[in-house]
Amino acid sequence: MATYLSFLLFVVLLAVAPGPDTFLTLRASVLGGRRRGLFTALGIVTGCAIQGVLAASGLGAVITHAEPVFEAIRWAGVAYLTWLGFTALRAAVRRGEDAWAVGGSARPVRRRTAFRQGFLCNITNPKVLAFNLAVLPQFVSPGDGMAVLLGYALTLVAVGGLVHLVVIEIAHAAATKLARPPFRRGVDGATGAVMLGFATVLAAEA
C-alpha cells in the first residue's frame, strides 16, 4: 500500500504538469464548451488506456524496440502536433469564428471529431508509452504479474482523466470571460505555439 500511495502521489504531480493533451483539452473547452472538452478528454483517456495496456502486456516493449515502428509513431506525432499548432495559429490570425472547426471553417466540431483529435494527440505521442515502460516497473515487484502492472497503468489513466475534468470545469466556470474574442485568440496563439514547441522537441529527439 505504501508503494502504491507513493506512485499515486507521483502520478498526481505528473498529471498536473501541462502537456499537449492538457492544452488541447483547454482549447476545446474554451472554444466549444464543456461537451467538446469532454469528448476531447475522452479521446485522450482512451489513447492513454491503450498505451497503458500495451505497456502492461509487454507489447509496448516490442514496439519501442522495433525501431521502424517506433520511429513511424514518433514522426506521426510530430506531424499531428505540427498540424494542431498550425491550425491554432491560423485561427488566431484570422480571429477564427470557430478556431476548432476542421480546416478552420465555422462549422461546429462534431463529437467524434473532438474525440478523434484527442485520441490522435495521445496515441501518436511515443513518450506516453516510453514513460509507462520506464516508470511502471519501478513500482512493482518482479513477481507481481501483469494484473498489478495493469492496475498501476490504469491508475495513471484515471488520475489523468480527473485532471482533464478539472481543466474542463475551470474553463466552463469562466465561460463568460473566456468567450471574449481577444482571450480566444490568445488561447489559440498560445496553444499553437506550445504544440509547435512540443513537435520540435519530439522531432529533435534521437
Give residue 181's Cα distance to chain centre. Answer: 25
- The H or E element containing residue 25 is helix 20-57
Report pLDDT for 178. Answer: 59
Return d(Cα 178, Cα 116) in angstroms, integer: 24
Answer yes or no: are the C-beta atoms of 195 and 81 closer than 8 Å: yes
Structure-model confidence comparison of residues 180 and 115, the more confident one? 115
Return d(Cα 39, Cα 25) in angstroms, integer: 9
Report pLDDT for 41. Answer: 95
Give residue 106's Cα distance to chain centre. Answer: 24
Structure-model confidence comparison of residues 157 and 103, the more confident one? 157
Return d(Cα 38, Cα 21) in angstroms, integer: 12
Report pLDDT for 125. Answer: 82
Whole-prediction pTM: 0.72
Residues 76-107: tens digit of each pLDDT: 767 877 887 787 777 777 754 444 443 344 45
Q: Does residue 174 surpass a pLDDT of 60?
A: yes
Provide the pLDDT confidence category of residue 38 given band limits of 50, 70 and 90: very high
Structure-model confidence comparison of residues 26 and 139, the more confident one? 26
What are the boundaries of each domain within the chain? Answer: 19-204
Give the lowest-confidence range in 5-14, 81-90, 95-104, 179-188: 95-104
Q: Does residue 151 surpass a pLDDT of 80?
A: yes
Mean pLDDT of the chain: 77
Residues 44-68: tens digit of each pLDDT: 999 999 988 888 777 666 656 666 7
**Residue 185: CA count within 13 A, CB half-sphere:** 9
Return d(Cα 163, Cα 160) in angstroms, integer: 5
